[in-house]
Amino acid sequence: MDFIGKKKDGKKWLPPAIAEQARKHWESIKDGSDVVFSVTKPRKAKSQAQLGAIWGLIMTEACTQLSDMGYDTSFIYNIPNPTGIEISKEDLCDFFYNACPIRDENGQKITLSKSNTAEAAKFFDDCRNWMSSQWGVMVSELDPNWKGKP
């Protein structure tokens, strides 16, 4: 069971009702039982703006690599003759919404703007895996320390 509290004056602090729940739970555990303690600091989920920026960077990198390989829209639409039309981020986004759909907890297809951080992360990984295995396009993981770099 998880209990959410704060660190105050160097000590663990739980609101009174939570502290009482934690005490009761502790007492319900049989002596000699193994227990697991963990302390984590909750992180805010990425905002929709951050998810959109990450997706934009992935699409930009993929479009650049596909263009460098000489592919046009005939490649992603599986058309036998070249179209001469460069693959846009929008084309690629539409493609991946169909190839690697994002599904919510009810199994319904959703877009990135309706997804949570976990759903978006899975979508990003699925798209990266698709690009790598099917097209030979390697889109790197974003560097979590990008802000601190010159």
Mean pLDDT of 67-91: 93
Q: What CA–CA distance (Å, rounded) separates 5 from 41? A: 10
Give yes or no for a contact between 88 and 56, defined as CB atoms under 8 angstroms apart. no
* Higher pLDDT among residues 5 and 65, named by residue: 65
> DSSP E strands: which ranges in the chain?
6-8, 11-13, 102-103, 109-110
143 vs 131, which has greater pLDDT? 131
Q: Which amino acid is at 2?
A: D
What's the pLDDT score for residue 57? 86
User: How confident is residue 90, by pLDDT bands cut at 50, 70 and 90?
Assistant: very high
In this prediction, residue 100 has a pLDDT band, given cuts at 50, 70 and 90, of: very high
The pLDDT value recorded for residue 144 is: 54
Of 44 and 62, the one with more pLDDT: 62
Torsion of CA 81, 84, 86, 92, to 10 degrees: -20
pLDDT, mean over the chain: 85
